[in-house]
Amino acid sequence: MRPTPRESSPRRYLMCPPAHFTVTYSINPWMDPAKPVDLPLALAQWEDLRDRYLTLGHTVELLDPVPELPDMVFAANGATVVGGRVLGARFAHPERAAEAGAHLAWFRRNGWAEADLWAPEHVNEGEGDFAVTASWILAGSGFRSSPLCRAEAQEFFGRPVIGLELVDPRYYHLDTALCVLDEERDEVMYFPDAFSPGSRSVLERLFPDALRATAEDAAALGLNAVSDGLHVLLPQTATGLFDPLRARGFEPVGMDLGELLKGGGSVKCCTQELRP
Ligand code: ARG
């Protein structure tokens, strides 16, 4: 079978430098406040990711880090932008609550019209739990985002929202268990065991040709990846994903975000996509 011809398209990302990143509380199983974080290394790893996006021709917008918000580097959680409309976040844990306002303020300052901004009623942790393909918005819940946010997102974006139930605390956000590889083709990769039996059946029905990750690659947070349609940036330790991605015509780009992994996040968590 010949691999599908792939093409990258220029993306606009919002990122937040980990200037105040540390692990002082634990809201997911990856976070251990007893393990020290090497801040200069975290910054260098984050800069590598940003530079890689720039080298690939993408635009990176920057959000100012706030000293009291150590998880702000995980910019994917702060909002979801589809068709130029911004669904704000509402965090499940008080430690991160103030990030939602910082994101909305950024959008206001950067030219978004009030009519295109929505501060949600129900808990949703942005692109941590929302994934966007051409046909659907996938919405994870079980640990963070409320199932009630699905109706809110569907009404706001006018796109069908498909709910997916997460069942393994290590994969507490949808973007730790599923990655959109090609939105136009509705093509994803995911780790089946992270989902409830019913949600697994939904995934099989919607994405029969999906790339299924092994437990090992999922545990390396290999699904916390970002694709531009051709390049797939993912944790370098998720080695089992590289060949299957190449076989599909993608170019895997291994990244080292080992320090940020101590917060329970990797490539995708650090990257919010601003979809025009
Ligand atoms: N420490 C953060 C939290 O638990 C990590 C968030 C990771 N972000 C993501 N999009 N999965 O909320």
ipTM associated with this complex = 0.96
- Tell me whether residue 40 is exposed, middle or buried, using C-beta atoms within 10 angstroms of its C-beta: 0 to 12, 13 to 18, 19 or more: exposed
pLDDT at 32: 97
pLDDT at 1: 66
Which residue among the candidates 58, 103, 173, 231 is catalytic per the annotation? 173
Secondary structure of 15-60 in HEC code, one letter for each residue: ECCCCCCCCCCCCCCCCCCCCCCCHHHHHHHHHHHHHHHHHCCCEE
- Cα 160 from chain centre: 19
Q: Report the distance separating Cα 151 and Cα 7, nearest Å.
A: 33
Q: Which atom of ligand 1 is nearest to the CA of 224?
A: 11
Distance 260 CA to ligand 1 centre (A): 10
pLDDT at 2: 77
Q: In degrees rounded to 5, what are phi and psi of residue 87?
A: -90, 115
Distance 5 CA to ligand 1 centre (A): 33
- Cα 118 from chain centre: 20
Distance 100 CA to ligand 1 centre (A): 13
Chunked into runs of 10 residues, the chain (276 residues) has average pLDDT values of 89 98 97 97 98 98 98 98 98 98 98 97 98 98 98 98 98 98 98 98 98 98 98 98 98 98 98 98
Annotation marks residue 16 as catalytic: no
pLDDT at 276: 96
